[in-house]
Amino acid sequence: MTTAPVLTARQVSWRRRRASAARTWEQFRHRPSGVVGLGILVVFAFVAVAAPLLANSSGLEVTKATGGILESPSTSYWLGTDENGRSVLTLLIWGSRVSLFVGLLATAISMGIGTLVGLASGHFRGFLGAALFRVTEWFLVIPFLPLAIVLASVLGRSLLNISLVIGITSWPGTAMLIRAQTLSIENRPYLERAKVLGSGHWRQMSRHVLPNVMPMVFANTTLTVAIAILSETTLSFLGLGDPLRVSWGTMLDAAFSTGAITTGAWWYIVPPGVCVILVVLAFTLVGQALEEIFNPRLRERS
Amino acid sequence: MSVRTEVAEVTAAVQPTERRRRGGRGRYVLSKVAGSVGALFFMLVFNFFLFRVLPGDPVRTLGRNRLVSDKQVAELRQTLGLDQSLPRQFVTYLENTFTGQFGLSFRYRQPVSGLILDRLGPTLVLVGTATVLSTVIGIYVGMVSAWNRGRPVDNVSTWSGLVLYSMPEWWLGLLLLAVFAVGLGPVPGLFPVNGLITTGVDMWSVAGLLDMAWHLTLPVITLTLAYVAEYSLIMRSSLLDEMGEDYLLTARAKGLRDIHVRRRHAARNALLPTTTLVALNLGFVVSGAITIETVFSIPGLGLLTTEALSVPDYPLLQGTFLFFSAAVIVANLAANLLYGLLDPRVRT
Amino acid sequence: MTPLLEMRDVHVTYATAAGPLPAVRGVNLSLEPGESLGVAGESGCGKSSLAATVLRLQPPNATVRGSVLVTGKDVQTVDWGQLRALRWGEAAMVFQGSLHSLNPVQRVGDQITEPIRLHDGSVSPARASERVGQLLEQVGLPAASARTYPHQLSGGQRQRVMIAMALACRPRLILADEPTTALDVMVQAQVLDVLTGLVRGLELGLLLISHDLSVLGTTCDRVLVMYGGRVVEQGAATAVFDHPQHPYTRALARAFPRVGDADARFSPAGLAGDPPDPRNLPSGCTFHPRCPRAIDVCSTHEPPVRWPEPDRPVECVRVEGAETAPGTAVAAGR
């Protein structure tokens, strides 16, 4: 007599998750804009990770600069040099690390706070939920750049601080989205059952609400990274970036303050901007494709 | 959230449920005003605690590179009122804020409020012009895009919108500056490289006004392009949402031409969520002002803020933060109230 | 006398990314002035697609074959001027779900005025407003409700507004597409009363579409039953409702329990299976997978039309009846 293999609950839910991930990928594959975005991201991720292989890190040190000042591109310096004689291409490659790192760290902070607040304000119905919602709303109205500027000027200039600043200024958007999702999920009957069976708040949220909220959170995360990278570039351009590190934003700040505009040093101005556009566009395309997949309301029209 | 999700959420929120709501306009106005007052108060509290909650002695922080002797430290402590109890400080802070006293700028040694008022004009002109232009153009482009969904017109405008959206607006400014002000290769620059007005020209004469317009041309173009991207994407999304509605079929069945159905019913109704979303994204307008003024050296509030960063001139930074935030909160309220006038579903 | 509405071998096919989707596959019907014709069937059977063709309101990706004649004019081929006159002027529609079928930010009175002034630009605002008031009172609403917005009215009131609006340009034909679905039963009855009262009083033609056979049974003279894009049974309403011939019609009739039917109280008879996927229609008779009376030939051959009574065509091989329409020319040799 044969019997079917018995699966534990955990194995069942694992299989289910793998299957739905496979389905998501299947749908994603058929969205050309999303695939293009993903391709671009893979390229930049590779550049960031493989930076030491692609460009010698000594190229970043001002004292070891070998090129002339603001030289136009040549065979020895494919993208010319900066005001210190460093190769712009080297700066660009290493700068990708900082720009991507800050973008991701800031997003992690923003998503962390945003998810917590969003879940709580959607789940807890009484005073706590309402209070959290109000605070989120108020925070949302305050304009990003003035707030980021004051915070950054107080905290000081470092990678961690700039990530913190961006994270603190962007969590309300996420919180609102997650709250809306939480509210719509909580209307569903199976959660009633969980409550009746005695699940505590934490268990309800983590076991039931969170997994259903995750897809939209994931789509939102991608879009948040796009905005975080744009923000880091802007803040660095205004002089709030880490003075010890090179990012695409600090490159543009340096270009602007050393008069690359007037001397026509386009190799210093154009490449960092193009990189930012490509990366932000890529994250946006991926995020929009994911949103379409997870939010059926968006699907009929594009 | 992407533009499309925002539009979907906003449109869904306004759909009236089958239950009739009571209270109507009064309730709506009250709730929006209360929300704005709450936001203002929250911002004031936040501003207050900004320097006092962080680790370390606030006086040391504020006087980081500038104070030497203990006497100076003690003086500054007293000036800032930090020798008093926290609640007392807060009250003083509120009093000062409501009477327009934001302290003295470290850099200019003048009252911050005066500096803000002085520099307000150029910012208003810059932002005002760009907003008006970009709203009109953006809504039109969004409309045409939505009506021609999938066709080349739509694809071109949507993609260029996305690219502009992914671009830091100040970088576009740098490019325009390099190409049109400095000149590219053999082509000479057509516009001034910086500033609001050529030195020596009287600002209020006709020549002066023309001169200012010439100076503001590139900055306004840059900001307009940046805003247009956002607004056209919003309008397109709103209109596409609207075009799926059943009442448009009813309108067609009554004998209306397609073009009238689209204009009189769909587009008109799509302006409503567009207004809400434009209001939600007002912070974006302010950020644009700050960065573009910096790039083009326009002596407005934005440049004042970035100049304050170098010292760092904390009283000035706090003052501009307060001003910008209050401006956005008030503008947001105005937009919400305007929406309340336009959409009968919220006021009846 | 020319029929008010006539459809000859109408096919409606949608072009989709996944291939052509046949929603209506060869429908013939005719409606005389003053007659009420009901169209019954489940969702997806093609009844709404059929209704849309009457005023050329089908979506752009739909292709219509065959002819749809309103007062003798071929709707699908007339020029714009004639179509505009037809729309609302000769035939008007009453849609379902009127919270979405009415413009949410426009006053109800303005929405009724719109077609009036569209069809006759010379009408002054005062006269139009008077007419709007009359129309609203005809459906049992106070004239002052012209100033309300759709969301301020109840579902039943909104549906009555839709009816008033449909009558605005004095059409001769009313097409009501699920006008009472989503309304409470009591309100349903009210709205149907209003509709049928007006239709009879003004001697209009009515094409009433509903999945609810009982609604059609009480309001219509004749009924068509659609399944999978075709008409499977036709006839006088009482006859079709009381003595359904086609197995599908029987199942549909049984699904609504009737007073006095003790068995139905405990087990409302449903119909197993799902409506057919238009892209993947069953071979032979479209209904055969769900049919309790199916035999071998049902899966291989299209069902023939049988006439168990005059004017009572049924597309089913299991139905006893004449093989040609009684009264038509008899084929040679019979």
pLDDT of A74 > 50? The answer is yes
Distance from C-alpha of C220 to C-alpha of C160, rounded to nearest angstrom: 19
A-chain residue closest to B174, CA distance: A261
What pLDDT is recorded for position C112? 94
Confidence of residue A3 (pLDDT cuts 50, 70, 90): low
pLDDT of A243 > 50? The answer is yes
Query: Omega into B312 within 30° of 0, i.e. cis?
Result: yes
What pLDDT is recorded for position B186? 61
Confidence of residue C331 (pLDDT cuts 50, 70, 90): very low
Q: Do B253 and C88 touch (CB under 8 A)?
A: yes
CA-based nearest residue to A89, from A62, A56, A50, A63: A56
User: In A187-265, which ranges are continuous DSSP H helix?
Assistant: 189-196, 201-203, 210-237, 248-257, 260-263
More confident residue, C285 or C331: C285
Each residue of A217-231: b (16+ CB within 10 Å) or e?
bbbbbbbbbbbbbbb
A119 within 8 A of A201, measured Cβ to Cβ? no
Distance from C-alpha of C204 to C-alpha of C212, rounded to nearest angstrom: 22
Chain Cα centroid distance, residue B146: 26
C-chain residue closest to B250, CA distance: C101
Q: Do B254 and C104 touch (CB under 8 A)?
A: no
Q: What percent of chain A is modeled with pLDDT above 70?
A: 87
Chain Cα centroid distance, residue C172: 15
Q: Tokens standing for C141?
A: 């609403």
pLDDT digits (tens, 9 = 90+) for A191-207: 666 666 666 666 666 67
What pLDDT is recorded for position C263? 58
Residues 6 or more apart in contact with residue A6 via CB below 8 angstroms: none
Distance from C-alpha of B324 to C-alpha of B305, rounded to nearest angstrom: 10
pLDDT of A47 > 50? The answer is yes
Tally the residues of chain B. 348
What pLDDT is recorded for position A302? 40
pLDDT of A108 > 80? The answer is yes
Mean pLDDT of A262-277: 89
What pLDDT is recorded for position B76? 66
pLDDT of C328 > 60? The answer is no
Query: Which of A60-74, A166-180, A279-293, C212-226 shows the lowest per-residue confidence on average (mean pLDDT)?
Result: A60-74
What pLDDT is recorded for position B58? 59
What pLDDT is recorded for position B189? 67
The pTM for the full model equals 0.83
pLDDT digits (tens, 9 = 90+) for C279-299: 888 888 888 888 888 888 888
What pLDDT is recorded for position C265? 56
pLDDT of A299 > 80? The answer is no
* ipTM for this model: 0.86
Mark which residues 163-222 of B lie under 8 Å from A by CB.
Answer: 163, 165-168, 170-171, 174-175, 177-178, 182, 184, 193
Mark which residues 28-57 of B lie under 8 Å from A by CB.
Answer: 35-36, 38-39, 42-43, 46-47, 50-51, 54
CA-based nearest residue to A116, from A163, A178, A208: A178
pLDDT of A97 > 60? The answer is yes
pLDDT of C272 > 80? The answer is no
Mean pLDDT of A109-131: 87
Confidence of residue C13 (pLDDT cuts 50, 70, 90): very high
- Is A226 in a helix, a strand, or coil? helix
What pLDDT is recorded for position B199? 72
pLDDT digits (tens, 9 = 90+) for C147-201: 999 988 988 999 999 999 999 999 999 999 988 888 888 888 888 888 888 888 8
What pLDDT is recorded for position C44? 75
Helix (H) or strand (E) holding A146: helix A144-155
pLDDT digits (tens, 9 = 90+) for C226-249: 998 889 999 998 888 888 888 888
B32 within 8 A of A137, measured Cβ to Cβ? no
Pairing of strands C173-177, C230-236: unpaired
B296 within 8 A of B194, measured Cβ to Cβ? yes
Q: Do B295 and A256 touch (CB under 8 A)?
A: yes
User: In chain B, which ranges are continuous DSSP H helix?
Assistant: 3-14, 24-50, 58-62, 70-79, 86-98, 112-147, 152-165, 169-176, 206-243, 247-253, 258-260, 268-280, 282-296, 301-309, 314-342, 344-347
Q: Tokens standing for B145?
A: 């895009």
Mark which residues 311-330 of B lie under 8 Å from A by CB.
Answer: 312, 314, 317-318, 320-321, 324-325, 328-329
More confident residue, A11 or B62: A11
Q: What percent of chain C is modeled with pLDDT above 70?
A: 92
Chain A: partners with 3+ C-beta pairs within 8 Å: B
Q: Mutate which of A70, A184, A261 to disrupt the B interface (most B C-beta within 10 Å)? A: A261
- Show which residues on chain B lie within 8 Å of chain C, measured between beta carbons: 15-16, 18, 20, 245-247, 249-257, 265, 268-269, 272, 342-345, 348
Mean pLDDT, contiguous 10-residue spans, chain B (348 residues): 70 56 73 90 86 60 60 67 73 80 79 88 90 92 91 92 93 90 69 73 78 88 92 90 89 91 90 83 85 91 89 84 91 88 79
Average pLDDT of chain C?
86
Number of neighbouring beta carbons within 10 Å of residue A242: 18
Residues 6 or more apart in contact with residue B149 via CB below 8 angstroms: A301, A302, B240
What pLDDT is recorded for position B73? 67
Question: Phi and psi dihedrals of C153, rounded to 5?
Answer: -105, 160
Q: Which chain B residues touch A281 with a CB distance below 8 Å?
A: 162-163, 166
pLDDT of C64 > 90? The answer is yes
Distance from C-alpha of B7 to C-alpha of A298, rounded to nearest angstrom: 10
Distance from CA of C111 to the nearest CA of B (A): 9
What pLDDT is recorded for position A271? 92
Question: Phi and psi dihedrals of A122, rounded to 5?
Answer: -80, -35
What pLDDT is recorded for position A29? 85
CB-nearest to B283 from A144, A149, A262 is A144
What pLDDT is recorded for position B18? 42
Distance from CA of C294 to the nearest CA of B (A): 40
What pLDDT is recorded for position B59? 62
